[in-house]
């Protein structure tokens, strides 16, 4: 799948993990930050890799659903705004 994506992009090497259209988005408030985080968490679900976000081994969604992910994270709901 990653190899097929790389063939569509002349700037990619043999494999491409990220979409080339990526651009920075300023997160102006906590609501917007949560929207983007939900989008990231649900990407593996939309792709059909898992049925629930917290099932994706490499996602911080695990931490938001009561588990412990692979990396130490700072949850958005713990930030003082």
pTM of the predicted protein model: 0.67
Query: Which tokens hold the place of 32?
Result: 């917007």
User: Residue 41 in contact with residue 32, Cβ under 8 Å?
Assistant: no
- Integer Cα distance of 25 and 52 in angstroms: 26
- Integer Cα distance of 55 and 53 in angstroms: 5
User: Residue 14 in contact with residue 7, Cβ under 8 Å?
Assistant: no
End-to-end CA distance of the chain: 40
Task: Give the pLDDT confidence score for residue 57 in this predicted structure.
Answer: 93
Residue 6 has pLDDT above 70, yes or no: no
16-35 pLDDT, tens per residue?
Answer: 556 656 677 788 888 898 99
């Amino acid at each position: 799948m990653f190899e097929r994506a790389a063939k569509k992009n002349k700037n990619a090497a043999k494999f491409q993990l990220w979409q080339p259209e990526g651009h920075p988005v300023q997160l102006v408030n906590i609501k917007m930050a949560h929207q983007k985080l939900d989008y990231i968490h649900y990407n593996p679900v939309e792709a059909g890799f898992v049925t629930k976000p917290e099932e994706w081994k490499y996602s911080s969604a695990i931490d938001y659903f009561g588990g412990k992910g692979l990396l130490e994270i700072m949850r958005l709901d713990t930030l003082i705004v």
